[in-house]
């Protein structure tokens, strides 16, 4: 396993765990038009942890890579919601909320680079 793959596995697992440790925060960034925000937070947390662990075995790594890419695309609306509604998140600088948007593209690229040839 390459370092970039191990780091992505760690990032995904840690990010997934925070969905259970900081549930209230994540519920706030679920856009209003999506139903069952708490369930979506838990589901995305389980997905992130599953992706992280799936990065470890070589035979499931490509599946995990494409899962990570799908995950980063799927959570993009939450990042948009956060950027467009800074009043809901007074402790987060507005610039940081906007910086998360291009960061998603970098995360997608990083995940893509983690696939096995």
- The 10s digit of each residue's pLDDT in 32-62 is 999 999 999 999 999 999 999 999 999 999 9
pTM confidence score = 0.92
Give 116's pLDDT tier (boundaries 50, 70, 90). Answer: confident
Yes or no: say if 116 and 66 are a contact pair by the CB < 8 Å rule: no
Residue 41 structure tokens = 């937070």
Cβ-Cβ contacts under 8 Å for 67 (sequence gap 6 or more): 47, 50, 51, 54
From 76, 80, 83, select the one nearest 104 (Cα to Cα).
Answer: 76
Q: Please give the Cα distance from 8 to 61 (Å, whole number).
A: 11
């Amino acid at each position: 396993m390459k370092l970039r793959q191990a780091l992505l596995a760690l990032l995904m697992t840690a990010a997934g765990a925070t969905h259970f440790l900081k549930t209230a925060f994540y519920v706030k960034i679920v856009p209003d038009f999506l139903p069952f925000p708490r369930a979506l937070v838990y589901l995305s947390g389980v997905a992130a942890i599953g992706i992280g662990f799936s990065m470890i075995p070589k035979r499931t790594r490509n599946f995990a890579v494409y899962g990570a890419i799908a995950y980063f695309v799927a959570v993009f609306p939450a990042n948009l919601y956060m950027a467009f509604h800074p009043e809901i998140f007074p402790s987060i600088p507005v610039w940081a909320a906007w910086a998360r948007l291009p960061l998603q593209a970098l995360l997608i690229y990083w995940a893509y680079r983690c696939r096995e040839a």
